[in-house]
Amino acid sequence: MKDSDTEDINDNNQTILSYDRWCLSTVLLKEGWISKKGEIRRFKLFANKQMVYFADNGSNIILKGHINLDKVTDIVKKTGNALELSTPYRFWVLEFITPQDRDIWYELINGVVITEAVNDINNYHID
């Protein structure tokens, strides 16, 4: 997977094979249906600070892209059911079915991003 945020990934066998191998080495924290740009996508949040999303074409599930949470600079709860995630590359607006669902995703995403920042601070040594 690329190091930057992507809008769409060309869906070919190599991409899916790479994704399948990558999934074996990380922990899935949450998955669910989220609206992005008015289209419902299946999102998966992983412990390695990646969110991947898929389109559902009936019997086919197509890997569409990912959000690199390492790059998130701001996470904002919006009124209603939306979250806004900002990265240097783009601005994401994700809409959830309920405010409660949004809050659960917010806590998990925020926890993944903050945990890394705390680990960086704890690993910083002044000699």
User: Residue 114: what pLDDT?
Assistant: 66
pLDDT in tens, 40-96: 999 999 988 889 999 887 777 888 888 989 899 999 999 889 999 998 889 999 999
Kindly report the pTM of this predicted structure: 0.74
Would the pLDDT of 99 be above 80?
Answer: yes
User: Residue 111: what pLDDT?
Assistant: 87
Q: Which residue has the higher pLDDT, 25 or 115?
A: 25
Average pLDDT, the chain: 79
Would the pLDDT of 1 be above 80?
Answer: no
Q: Which residue has the higher pLDDT, 101 or 57?
A: 101
Phi, psi of 102 (to 5 degrees): -55, -45
d(CA 109, CA 112): 5
Any idea which fold 13-122 has?
PH-domain like (2.30.29)
Q: How far does the chain reach from its first CA to its final CA, in angstroms?
A: 36
Would the pLDDT of 4 be above 60?
Answer: no
